[in-house]
Amino acid sequence: MGLEAKLQQDGFITTTIDSIIAWARKSSVWPMPMGISCCAIEMIAAADPKYDLARFGSEVMRFTPRQCDLMIVAGTVTYKMAQVVRRIYDQMPEPKWVIAMGACTSSGGMYRSYSVVQGIDQFLPVDVYTAGCPPRPENLINAVMTIQQKISKTRARDFQDQPFDNTIITNN
C-alpha cells in the first residue's frame, strides 16, 4: 500500500507541491485538547490504545496552543470560559481548524441557561460539529477524518499572506 509499493517500481513519484503539503498537513494534525467538561473523557478515550487516534496521526495532544493546528473544544463553554477558549485559539498558528465536540459546544446542549454560550460558533469558526452527549470516540475519530478530508482539499497558497492577528488578544 501507498509509497512502499512505488519502491518496487521506479523509485520516484510525481505529484504537486500543493497535494504533498496537504497530505503532510492532514497526516499530522496535532490537536489542542480544550477539555472543559465531561466530553473531555471521551476525547481522552479516543486517544487511548483501544480507539487509537494515532492511526490518523493525531495522537500528539499538545497542551500548548502554539504547537497545534486543531482545536477540539470538548465540553460546556460558559461565557466566562469563552474568553479563554478564544484566547487560546488566537495563539494557535495558521492554518488551524476547530472541532465542536458534543451537544454543549455545538448548541449549548442541555444547558439552556444564562451562563452557557449557546453554540461556540458565536465566537469561533467551527469546521466540524460532533453530535452526542458525549459523542463516542468513534464519532470524534470521524470528525478528525472529516477534518482530514477538508485539509486534503486545501492548497498551500490558501494560507499565505495571513498576518498574525493579535488585536483580539490585546483587546481582552
Q: Shortest gap between Cβ of 111 and another protein (angstroms)?
A: 11
Question: Between residues 102 and 119, which has the closer beta carbon with respect to ligand SF4?
Answer: 102
Q: Which of 68, 103, 117, 128 binds ligand SF4 (CB under 6 A)?
A: 103
The rounded distance, in Å, linking the Cα atoms of 63 and 111 is 27
Alpha-helix residue ranges (DSSP H) falling in the chain: 3-7, 17-26, 39-47, 79-91, 102-107, 137-152, 167-171
Question: Between residues 114 and 164, which has the closer beta carbon with respect to ligand SF4?
Answer: 114
Q: What is the DSSP letter of 31?
A: E
Range in contact with another protein (rule: CB under 8 A) among 53-61, 99-107, 116-124, 145-153: 116-124
38 interacts with ligand SF4 by CB under 6 A: yes
SS3 at position 129: strand
The rounded distance, in Å, linking the Cα atoms of 134 and 73 is 12
Phi first, then psi: give them for residue 161, nearest 5 degrees: 55, 35
Q: Shortest gap between Cβ of 138 and another protein (angstroms)?
A: 30
100 interacts with another protein by CB under 8 A: no
Find the helix packing angle between 137-152 and 17-26, rounded to 10°. Answer: 170
Residue 109's binding partner among another protein, ligand SF4, none (Cβ under 5 to 8 angstroms by kind) is ligand SF4
Q: Shortest gap between Cβ of 99 and another protein (angstroms)?
A: 16
* Nine-digit cell string for 129: 460539529
Q: Which of 22, 124, 128, 141 binds another protein (CB under 8 A)?
A: 124
Residues forming contacts to ligand SF4 in the complex (CB under 6 A) are: 37-39, 75-76, 102-104, 109, 133-134
